[in-house]
Homo-oligomer: A and B are copies of this chain.
Amino acid sequence: MGGATKGRDVVPDATESSAPREGLSRTRVLRAAVDYADANGIESLTMRTLAAELGVVPMALYKHVANKDDLLDGMVEVIVGEIGPTPASGHWKPDVRRRVLAARAALLRHRWSQAVLESRAAMTAPMLGYLDSLVGLFVSGGLPIDLTHSVMHALGNRMWGFGEDLFAATPPSETESFNAQKDALPARFPNLAAIAAAAIHVDPESGRLTGCDSQAEFEFALDLVLDGVERLDVRDGKED
């Protein structure tokens, strides 16, 4: 069986400490791309400029990234990977708060990242890992799985109708290497798997299996916010 070892991992193996600055690697390319985008803006990041930055000919990059889209995906992977763990107390509310704020901080460190992330809602492994960790905080804090599911949608939605839910899991590009790991996904992201299992239900009309209703999830999120605002208004205005 050939080529099964062709890792597309984010951090495959660091042979960088021994060889100081010689030889590219996927990680080195990605890191250089992130740095370059930080310094010069994402719009001026081209395969040529990046190659020049690395002192290499443009086509050399293609030995480490499949194409520019793959490069961009890799860049978000790097940043999402920077989020890092946050301490958990077992109370979902402060735990989730901390974690989300940490994510925001990581994204803010690279101004271009949100635009790139939104332009390609590719669910890469670190992304799934982050989502899984969030879900884990909710459920291990005692929140029911259905509610957790809806909350994840609420957090991923923009609530004035613009921008579809980021939690609408766009699977990563259907590469062979991904398909190879597909079966292992539930094991790697057990919390997401639990949500997916809970979300699948039978449509009473057609009798067919169906996923979640994005319109319903949107309205849930919207009402959550509006109800919250109403409470704030009543409390502040009428002195409890």
Can you tell how many copies of this chain the complex includes? 2
Which residue of chain B is the closest to A232 with respect to CB atoms?
B147
Inter-subunit contact B228/A227 (CB<8 Å): yes
Given A147-B233, A233-B144, decide whether A159 and B154 contact each other with a Cβ distance below 8 A.
yes
- Given A97-B226, A143-B229, 14 more A-B residue pairs with CB atoms under 8 Å apart are A96-B226, A104-B161, A107-B161, A114-B163, A144-B237, A147-B236, A155-B225, A157-B158, A158-B163, A158-B166, A162-B166, A163-B163, A224-B224, A225-B228
Across the A-B interface, the 9 shortest Cβ-Cβ residue pairs: A104-B161, A103-B161, A224-B228, A155-B159, A155-B160, A228-B228, A114-B163, A100-B160, A151-B229
At the interface, yes or no: A129 with Cβ under 8 Å from chain B? no
Q: Is A32 at the interface (CB under 8 A from chain B)?
A: no
B115 to A119, Cβ gap below 8 A? Answer: yes
* Interface presence of A198 (CB below 8 A): no
A9 within 8 Å of B by Cβ? no
Which of B96, B102, B154, B226 meets A93, CB within 8 Å? B226
Question: Cβ of A104 and Cβ of B225 under 8 Å apart?
Answer: no
* A16 is an interface residue with CB less than 8 A from chain B: no
For residue A230, CB closer than 8 A to chain B, the reply is yes
A residues touching B (Cβ–Cβ < 8 Å)? 93, 96-97, 100-107, 114-115, 117-119, 134, 142-144, 147, 151, 154-164, 166, 218-219, 221-230, 232-233, 236-237
Partner of A219 from B101, B158, B222 at Cβ < 8 Å: B101
Cβ-defined contact, A93 with B225, below 8 A: no
Task: Enumerate 26 A-B pairs (CB-CB under 8 Å) in ascending A order.
Answer: A97-B222, A100-B160, A101-B161, A102-B161, A103-B161, A105-B161, A107-B161, A114-B163, A114-B164, A115-B118, A118-B118, A143-B229, A144-B233, A147-B232, A147-B233, A147-B236, A151-B225, A155-B158, A155-B160, A156-B162, A158-B158, A163-B163, A221-B225, A224-B224, A224-B228, A227-B228
